[in-house]
Amino acid sequence: MQLTGSQIVVECLKEQGVDTVFGYPGGTILNIYDELYRHPEIKHILTSHEQGAAHAADGYARSTGKAGVCMATSGPGATNLVTGIATANMDSVPMIAITCNVANPLLGKDSFQEVDIAGVTMPLTKHNFIVKDITKLADTMRRAFKIAQSGRPGPVLIDITKDVTAAKTEYTKEVPAIIGRIGDTITEDAVADAIEIIKKAKKPMIFVGGGAVIANASQELAEFVEKVDAPVTDTLMGKGAFDGNNPYYTGMLGMHGTKTANLSVSECDLLIVVGSRFSDRVTGNASKFASKAKILQIDVDPAEVNKNIVVDHYIIGDIKLVLDILNKKLEKQDHSKWLEKVFARKEEMPLSYPVDRLTGPYIMEKILEITKGEAIITTEVGQHQMWAAQFYSYKKPRTFITSGGLGTMGYGLGACIGAKVGNPDVPVFNIAGDGCFRMNMNEIATATRYNIPIIQVVFNNNVLGMVRQWQTLFYGQRYSHTILNDKVDFVKLAEAMGAKAYRVTKKEEVEPVIKEAMQLGEPVVIECVIDCDDKVWPMVAPGAPINQVMTEDDV
By three-state DSSP, how is residue 499 classified? coil
Q: Are 203 and 43 a contacting pair, CB within 8 Å?
A: no
Q: Which residues share a beta bridge with 161?
A: 101
Beta strands in 422-553 (DSSP E): 428-433, 455-460, 500-504, 524-529
Of the candidates 81, 77, 71, 85, the residue with the CA atom closest to the CA atom of residue 112: 77
Residue 224 among the catalytic residues: no
Q: Which of 11, 35, 50, 114 is catalytic?
A: 50
Q: Which of 41, 112, 307, 552 is catalytic?
A: 112
d(CA 36, CA 45): 12
Contacting residues for 56 by C-beta, under 8 A, at least 6 apart: 22, 45, 47, 68, 70, 414, 415, 417, 418, 421, 443, 446
User: Positive or negative CA dihedral for 125, 401, 278, 360?
Assistant: positive
- CB-based burial, 97-136: b 16+ in 10 Å, e otherwise: bbbbbbbeebeeeebeebbebbebbeebbbebbbbbebee
User: Positive or negative CA dihedral for 381, 416, 24, 439?
Assistant: negative
How far lies 528's CA from each of 124, 370, 508, in Å?
35, 17, 12
Q: Which of 90, 141, 466, 497 is catalytic?
A: 466
d(CA 554, CA 540): 11
Residue 129 among the catalytic residues: no
Q: Which of 126, 162, 320, 500 is catalytic?
A: 162
Contacting residues for 478 by C-beta, under 8 A, at least 6 apart: 471
Q: Which of 113, 343, 495, 548 is catalytic?
A: 113
Of the candidates 146, 144, 168, 166, the residue with the CA atom closest to the CA atom of residue 156: 144
Q: Are 198 and 228 a contacting pair, CB within 8 Å?
A: yes
Q: Are 267 and 335 a contacting pair, CB within 8 Å?
A: no
How far lies 491's CA from each of 240, 384, 444, 496, in Å?
32, 19, 12, 9
- CB-based burial, 479-511: b 16+ in 10 Å, e otherwise: eeebebeeeeebbebbeebebbbbbbeeeeebe
Residue 50 among the catalytic residues: yes
Q: Strand pairing of 313-316 and 428-433? A: unpaired
- Residues acting as catalytic residues: 50, 112-113, 162, 466
